[in-house]
Structures are given as structure tokens and as C-alpha cells.
Amino acid sequence: MAARTIVITGASAGLGAALAGLYAGPGVTLGLIGRDRSRLDDVAAKARAAGATVTPGCLDVGDAAAMGDWMLAFDAANPIDLVIANAGISRGTAADGTPEGLRNFTDQVRINLLGAANTIEPILPAMRMRRRGQIALISSIAGLRGLPDSPGYCASKAGLRAYGEALRAALRPDGIAVSVVSPGFFETEMVKQFRGDRPFTLSLARAAALTKRGLDAKRSRIVFPAILGLGVRITDLLPAWIGDRILRRFRFHIAPR
């Protein structure tokens, strides 16, 4: 059965907003979370125009208490079929070569990894009781193998991937499906800040369509573009020094600061 009640974090822009547009329709209830009120209201207005009922939540996913309260209240009123933990930030090596540093590392782990746990953990007991539901975690191909220019981003996304793999094995007997989504580059504000290599960059519409298609099929692992996912996985299978040498030739996630 198609999901009718869906929560999306990071819904005010990029992939989250595009997914809200794809899922919006008559009979669908959306909970849309982001920090920027006016961008969130724009996305909510478009979803309502498409026939959806929308509850916007102007929240920082890193705020565990606020997320817990909001998710529990939303789920009590509208039992959630699908939650997409998508909110994320990306830092990386600065254009002048300055490494990410501890502050950026901490911010990425707080939002990308802990933010996802703050979204999902509060509603797990209710999903388990209902014995149904679906969870999607938007990780990254950068979570498949550490990349030299974005150690904090890669760590946050690898952590998210491991969290999702663990949840999937644990929750399947309870009737809950878990998908880990590992995209390569796609065109959004996030990717526009990068100055480095962006091989096989997809359009936002394509990335959103591939994500939704994989989630509709309840696929455990959704990796795109396949060629980039394969390349990174092969690099990871090589002796570490060879993989490191290959990856040093590319400059990923170099952001002006």
C-alpha cells in the first residue's frame, strides 16, 4: 500500500522539497520539517495546492527535545507510514585548503547523524506497536568510503548508513522496512557551494525520482548513480594505500568559507 502519511526533514529546499512535491496529492498528509520558515511555507503551499494536508514544523533536527515532542504529537494525530530523514549539511575542506576542523565536524555529526536519530527514535515504539512503517535515511556515496576532503561529512554519512543497516535488520521482524539511500552528486544549493570534482552529477528531479522509486519498492539500499557507487566500492576493496592515492587525485567537497 502506498504511504499516505509521510514526514520529511530538510523539506524546505533541495531533495526534501522535491520529494514533498512528488509525494503531495489528495489523501496524503505531509509533516515537513526545516528551519527556514518562509522556504518551508512555500513548499507547504505547493503541496497543499497539489491536494495534500500539510503540517510544517520549523525545527532544528539537532534539537532532540523539540524533535521528540513534534514527532510524537504528529504521529499521535497522524500515524506515520514513512519517515524520510533527509536534513543535512556539508562542509569539507575550504577553498584555501583549510581542513574542516572540529567545529564543522561536530556540526555535521550533530545534524546529519544525530538529527536523523532525533527524528526516528521517538516514533519507533509506536511503529513497532503498529507493526508497520517505513524509514528512509538519506546518507551519501561519501558514506561508503572516506574521502580526503570531507572527513567529517563522510563520518556523519557512514554513521548514518551503519545506523540504517542496523535498524533494518532489527526492525524487519516488526514489519518495519528501512532503506539507506546513498546518492552521488545532484544539483542543489548544497552542491553549488562545492569547488571540487562533481563526477556524474544528476539533476535534482532525477535524484528525487530515483529516491522515490527505490522507496516505493522498499529497497534496502538505494545507491545512485550506479557507476559512481561501484567505483567508490571498488576503491574501498583495494589496498588502502592504492585507494588513498586514487582519491587524492580528486578534490571533493571543497567549499568557500
Ligand X SMILES: NC(=O)c1ccc[n+]([C@@H]2O[C@H](COP(=O)([O-])OP(=O)(O)OC[C@H]3O[C@@H](n4cnc5c(N)ncnc54)[C@H](OP(=O)(O)O)[C@@H]3O)[C@@H](O)[C@H]2O)c1
Options 13-21, 69-77, 93-101, 237-245: segment touching ligand X (CB under 6 A): 13-21
Q: Give residue for cell 543535512.
A: 88
Catalytic residue flag (residue 163)? no
By the rule CB under 6 A, 88 interacts with ligand X: yes
Return d(Cα 243, Cα 236) in angstroms, integer.
Answer: 6
The sign of the torsion formed by the CA atoms of 46, 44, 30, 179 equals positive
Within residues 30-69, the interface with ligand X by CB under 6 A covers: 33-36, 39, 60-62
**Smaller CB distance to ligand X: residue 25 or 196?**
196
Q: Which of 74, 153, 163, 252 is the catalytic position? A: 153
Cell numbers representing residue 220 in the block: 534496502
Total chain residues near ligand X (CB under 6 A):
32
The sign of the torsion formed by the CA atoms of 166, 167, 168, 173 equals positive
Q: Give residue for cell 545512485.
A: 224
Identity (one letter) of the amino acid at 187? E
In the shown chain, the binding pattern of residues 164 to 203 toward ligand X, with x for contact by CB under 6 A and - for none, equals: -------------------x-xx-xxxx------------
Length of the chain: 257
**238 backbone φψ class: left, alpha, beta (φ>0; ψ -120 to 50):** beta
In the shown chain, the binding pattern of residues 137 to 166 toward ligand X, with x for contact by CB under 6 A and - for none, equals: -x-x--------------------------
By the rule CB under 6 A, 14 interacts with ligand X: yes
Binding residues (CB under 6 A) for ligand X: these are 9-16, 33-36, 39, 60-62, 86-90, 111, 115, 138, 140, 183, 185-186, 188-191
